A and B are shown apart, each in its own frame.
Chain A
Amino acid sequence: MKKKLGAVFLSMAMVVSLLSGCQKKNAADSDGVKIYYAAIESGDYYEGWASQLQEQAKKQGSEFDVGYAENSVETQDAQVKSAVSDGCNVFLCGLVSADIATEIKAAAADVPIVFINQAPDDGQLEKDRYVYVASDEYMAGQYQAEYILEKFGSKDEINVAILKGPKGASGTVGRTNGLKQTLKASGKKINYVFEDNADWSADKAKEMMDMLLKTGRTVDCVAANNDDMASGAVTAFEEAGVDLDSVLFLGVDASEVGRQSIADGKMDFTVYQPMSAQITAAVLAAQRLAEGKSIGDIEGAAKDGKYILIPFEKVDASNVAQYM
């Protein structure tokens, strides 16, 4: 009997050691974390992301590779599949479309994914397996609203024009909701004298503001989902000869345009999207997932383990110089 038990324990121990050995071997094979960044498209913006991510990965001692899907679902799918066969053990993925999350997850097989750039549906995320690292879009809108409320603290009625990004984009929805809900919560009467999708475009924003100005409606502030649209609005108001000081122009991103505009005293407010923080968080998260660990202790990690939301920073004339 004792012999038998001993044999059982021995075989169990052997199985366990074998398994752990295998795991170690696998880890050794990949020589640590091997990250693949599936980017939406080539171009300055995402290439910038890629280089920063690579740098960060290097710092953390991980391998890094990148593929640009050029907005093609098929390409992205193929890139992910090939990366898996190349032995990549975690993805950083900017989805070409939020709708293909399932497909990409399937292509990635068992490899975990850190989504960036494009938010997948909440239902597609899974704790410590499929996570989304992004700036807190809602917070951007909220900061805008707080600024507006601060400036118009004495007013009971505020006429707001909103210039939104493309319909359905995560930035558009989050930032607009953040703005509107915060304004609504103030209890003031908020008149949305204009609200349309200018699709991140300064020109479209300018045209829309031109038309708005023709209606002769009173505008107290123009809150845009990004700095470009805000600057477009500034241009329109400028051209119409409206005193820019009488109207607040608010953007998001603290882009060069935005910062310059604030520095020039045209735009009033923007929020800084600390890209480096996102990159650091994304690469860290990738490493954790590759090692099968939790992202729970990373700053900005949500309780549900599906999100890491990087807070924005407020930028206005008082501190814009710091971001120049």
Chain B
Amino acid sequence: MKKKKERQTKPGKFISIKTKLLGIILPVVIIIVTVLTGLSYIVSKNVMKENAEELLQTSVKGQVSDIEAWLDQNLKSFQVAKQALEQVDLNEKQIQGFLDAYYGFDSNYPNGLYIADDDGAFYCAKAAQGVVLREPNEQGNYINNGDFSDAGDLADDTGWQFFTAEGGEAAAEIKGNEVSITTEQEGSADYSVQFVQADLPVKKGSTYRVSFDAYAAADRTMKVGISAPDRDYKRYLEDTVVELTTEKKTFTYEFTMGDEDDANGRLEFNLGACGSTDAVMISNVSVLMTDGAEEKGDASEDLAGDVTQTEWFQSGLSRVNMGFTNAYANEKGEQIISACGMLRSASGKVCVLSADMSLDKVSVYVNSFVKMEAAEAFLVNKEDNTILASRDTSLISKSLDETGDTFMKAVGDRISKADLSIAEIDGNMTGFEEIEGTDWMLVSYVPAKVVYQDLNNIRNIMVLFGVVSVLILTGLLERIIHIVINPIKQLTDVIKAMTNGDFTVHSHTKSNDEIGVMSWCVEKFIDTMCDMIASINKVSGVLHNQADSSKDVSVLMFSASKTQNQSMKELNETVEQLSISVNGIAESATTLATLVTETRDDGEGVSSKMNETVDISRKGKAAMQDVSAAMLNINNSVKKLQLAIDEVEKASEEITNITGVIGSIADETSLLSLNASIEAARAGDAGKGFTVVATEIGKLAQTSMESVQHIDNLVLEIKSSIGDVISQASDSVVNINNSNALIENAAETFDIIFENIDMVGNLVHQMIEKVDQVEDEARNVAAISEEQAASAQEIAASSDILVEQANSLMTNSETVTNESNELTNSAKELSAQIGVFKIGS
């Protein structure tokens, strides 16, 4: 399997589609949201700024029209009064009455109207002429008759007064520089029994000491205080409980007047409703000023002084219709503006009618008309930049430049330049509006941050909105992408699993889009792959089996060829041995032939000896007659010879056997050689048989050898037996010589022997014949053996070739084994590789 080189073997760094999509979409979304938010913010800012400016402008205009209306209303009422004054020529008293009527008529100008002429005459409401505080006596005591020197004081409305009320019944009497108060009924309120002095002047800011001596008939209490009957009985000195004893004591109290000057203070001793009716004695009453308030000069003097030099009079001279002065401080130090104008008088005198309006009041109007939240306003005279009204009263009648405030100064510059467009000055959005009919200008301002506070809120909301929408969009996108991508993800997992060879996975996607198609295709692919892998698997299994069996076969073949080889080697060796054996046999056969020849020769020698023996025996027969005596011996000897001959007979028999055996061997050998030649002609399997045959041949050859040796031995024995016979014959000769009698016997015996020998001679002849036959056979055997050897050598050569072939066969079968091993390995590998693919059951 070759891998395509151009194909990437590994994917790059993994970045999911989701990350990529989010990575692309999110910044875009964030940028869009940011831009939208920013744009909205800028648009909102402009709109809000415009709105705020419009609102401020409207507010200022509204304020101005309110102030104008207020001023107009007041001016109109002044104008009405002025016209009334102008149309009716009033005398001085009537004028006074007119002016008094305006006193307290309107809270905007509580002091009413006043008139002055250029002669300095000044008319105003009586009540407006101010609080006149009377002076104390020489001792500084504000109490009249404090020492009770005037005993008749209680009779009138001045000085000391005594009252009972709310069920109180009591009496007071001044006597001996003290007042004694006796109570019948204490009443239900502290003022049920009351001893007072009114018309006590109390000046604002001054500290007073109240002091008196007092005692009672028995221990009891009373209350002392200073009240204001004109001011709803407000207490200047709070009611204080005085613990009275029978012993005269001095009591001292201090208070500071916090209210406006009051000429009608009231010192009160309240004896009612305090749980006792015992008489009380009071003396030495004094109210002293211990710390006087700063004197402001005599107001009435001022008024009377140079009324023509007052602001209002001077200003009044510059117009006929009522109009307003600048802000100025009146004789009391109060910031006021006056409405004033020249009065058309019949007298021809230059008169100015005027009314004072408190600037505080104007300020209240100026500020109360502010229609914008956190906005403030102040009224400025645009001619000299004097502040006429402001929430901060300390600024009133100061020039804008004098305030030391950069904002005020900047406003002043603007007014001087007559640049009255709405503008942001020193962090304040500022609007200007002139008040018609006056030189006044209302400056209304609102701190820009207040204006932009809503903007900040909007910005915060927008940022919040932006963040929330980005978050929501992020979430939404994430979800959508997740939902859209999820099949892909699953598909990816499936493909990943597939990449790892797992085809058991399934890609189930119900979506009906490209991903659905993809998923379907993958599913199809998986199926196809599964089938394919299954079939490959099957094939590989088969292959594996085949490889296995081929391996087995080749192993078997190998071992068989090895065995064959071995066998061939062994055969070869056997053949060699056979060859050697055959050669040996051939040699043996040759030797045998030689021996046989020798044996024949010997046999011939024996035969000749036999002949000689017969000759001798014939001669002996003749001699036997000569030897009668010795015949007995000869008899014995002949007996013995008889035995030996017996043995020879036996041996001959055996030889006969042997020759028979040899004959059969020869037969068999010829048969075997025939067989061997046939076997040799065959290749392969015949080897075994050959070996057996060869062995048989060997055995036969040995047997032949043994037989031959036997023959040899037998021949030797025969020889020795013959020797014995000869010696015995010698003995017999001697014995015959010695005994004639015996010779006779012997002659007879001899004859038998002779016959026997003749027989033996015949036998030998026969044996020689047989030996000749053996010799022939041996020669034949040798020839055959030689042929055999040649054949054996041929066999050996053939078997060498066979061995070589067997070797190559073995080598080949080894190669086959190896290759079949390889095949097995390959099949295994294939199997393993196929095994990687999971295709389920």
Contact = CB atoms under 8 A, between A and B. Distances in A.
A167 B317 contact: no
Given A193-B318, A196-B321, A208-B320, 16 more contacts: A167-B436, A168-B437, A173-B434, A173-B436, A177-B418, A177-B434, A180-B383, A194-B318, A196-B318, A196-B323, A197-B437, A208-B319, A211-B342, A211-B350, A212-B318, A214-B348
Interface string A244-283: 0000000000000000000000000000000000000000
- The SS class assigned to the B binding surface is loop
11 contacts: A193-B318, A194-B318, A195-B323, A196-B318, A197-B321, A207-B344, A208-B319, A208-B320, A214-B348, A214-B350, A215-B118
B416 interface: yes
A208 B118 CA distance: 17
B436 to A, nearest CB: 5
Interface in B317-350: 317-321, 323, 341-342, 344, 348, 350
A323 interface: no
Contacts of A192: 318, 383
A47 B662 CA distance: 191
Interface in B419-436: 434, 436
A319 interface: no
Interface of A: 167-168, 173, 177, 180-181, 184, 192-197, 207-208, 211-212, 214-215, 217
Given A180-B383, A211-B344, A195 B436 contact: no
Contacts of A173: 434, 436
Contacts of A214: 348, 350
Nearest to A217: B317
B233 to A, nearest CB: 48
Contacts of A215: 118, 317, 342, 350
A73 to B, nearest CB: 19
A211 B437 contact: no
B436 A168 contact: yes
B418 A181 contact: yes
A181 B415 CA distance: 10
A215 B119 CA distance: 11
A196 B320 contact: yes
Interface string B80-91: 000000000000
B317 A195 contact: no
B232 to A, nearest CB: 43
A157 to B, nearest CB: 15
Contacts of A196: 318-321, 323, 341
Interface string B20-31: 000000000000
B320 A211 contact: yes
Interface in B434-450: 434, 436-437, 439
Nearest to A169: B436
B318 A195 contact: yes
| A contact face: mostly helix, strand, loop, or mixed | helix
- Which of B341, B434, B437 has most A Cβ within 10 Å? B437
Interface in B98-118: 118
Nearest to A180: B383
Contact of A184 (B317, B342, B383, B437): B383
Contacts of A181: 418
Q: Which 5 A-B pairs have the closest CB atoms?
A: A196-B319, A215-B317, A194-B318, A167-B437, A168-B436
Interface residues of B, number: 19
Contacts of A194: 317-319
Nearest to A198: B320
A194 to B, nearest CB: 5
A181 B382 CA distance: 10
Contacts of B350: 211, 214-215
Contacts of B323: 195-196
A184 to B, nearest CB: 7
A209 B222 CA distance: 71
A205 B572 CA distance: 172
A239 to B, nearest CB: 14
A168 B318 CA distance: 19
Nearest to A162: B318
- Among A168, A194, A196, find the residue whose CB has the most chain B CB atoms closer than 10 A: A196
A219 to B, nearest CB: 11
B325 to A, nearest CB: 12
A123 B436 CA distance: 17
Nearest to A208: B320
B369 to A, nearest CB: 19
A192 B341 CA distance: 14
Nearest to A207: B320
B433 to A, nearest CB: 12
A112 to B, nearest CB: 23
Interface in B691-712: none
A180 B418 CA distance: 11
Interface string B307-325: 0000000000111110100
A318 B439 CA distance: 34
Contacts of B318: 192-196, 212, 217
Contacts of B434: 173, 177
Contacts of A193: 317-318
A14 to B, nearest CB: 36
Interface string B404-425: 0000000000001010000000
Contacts of A180: 383, 439
A7 B118 CA distance: 93
Contact of A195 (B319, B348, B418): B319
B435 to A, nearest CB: 11
Contacts of B319: 194-196, 208
B490 to A, nearest CB: 40
Contacts of A211: 320, 342, 344, 350
B66 to A, nearest CB: 15
Interface in B182-217: none
A196 B344 CA distance: 14
A197 B79 CA distance: 13
A177 B416 CA distance: 12
A177 B436 CA distance: 11
A218 to B, nearest CB: 12
Question: Most chain-B CB neighbours within 10 Å: which of A195, A197, A208, A211?
Answer: A211
A174 B266 CA distance: 60
Contacts of A177: 418, 434
Contacts of A212: 317-318
Contacts of B439: 180
A197 B418 CA distance: 22
A211 B342 CA distance: 8
A166 B262 CA distance: 47
Contacts of B344: 207, 211
Nearest to A167: B437
Interface string B337-378: 000011010001010000000000000000000000000000
Most chain A CB atoms below 10 A, which of B317, B320, B350: B320
Contacts of B342: 211, 215
Interface string B549-567: 0000000000000000000
Nearest to B317: A215
Contacts of B437: 167-168, 197
Interface centre among A168, A193, A215 (most CB of B within 10 A): A215
A25 B613 CA distance: 193
Contacts of A167: 436-437
B71 to A, nearest CB: 11
A211 B680 CA distance: 183
Nearest to A204: B320
A217 to B, nearest CB: 6
B380 to A, nearest CB: 14
A192 B323 CA distance: 13
A131 to B, nearest CB: 20
B413 to A, nearest CB: 13
A223 to B, nearest CB: 14
Contacts of A217: 317-318
A190 to B, nearest CB: 8
Contacts of B118: 215
